Amino acid sequence: MQDIPFYSGGYKFMVTEAPVMKMREVKGEMVPAVDKQSGEASFVVMLFAKPRQPGKNGRIGKGEEIKVTLATDPGEGFDEGTYVELIDPVLNTWQTTNDEGRITGSGLWFKAEGLKPAGAGAVRDAA
């Protein structure tokens, strides 16, 4: 399954590494990664995702860092420590298999159309 939409409002996201153009290696040379359908350059941003509400145990989870591929250039103003929201986030799965067909690795990756500052009067710096 690919591009599964998900609700991200239950998390707050803080930029831990500013967005940069996504690159890939082709014949030993780094080139911009482009979307297969649109031909537009992709970008990546590292975010710290932390739940907004306490879990069943009454505590808010510690959160984790995730990498998100962005379909568009988010522009300026998304420096480290900035709180953001994802625009149209989706989730994808991947897996690798060996020569015998056994699954040797699997995981998730995140993608969004873009970023926007979190809420009106958004917090711009980490506390």
The confidence score (pLDDT) of residue 120 equals: 46
36: pLDDT strictly greater than 80: no
* CA atoms of 18 and 24, how far apart (whole Å): 18
Domain 4-125 class, CATH top level: mainly beta
- For the segment 4-27, the average pLDDT, to the nearest whole number, is 93
Dump pLDDT digits (tens) for 70-84.
Answer: 999 999 999 999 999
How far is residue 41 from each of residues 10, 44, 119, measured CA to CA in Å? 29, 10, 27
Instruction: Tell me the domain boundaries of the chain.
Output: 4-125
Structure tokens at 30: 């780094």
The confidence score (pLDDT) of residue 2 equals: 85
123: pLDDT strictly greater than 60: no
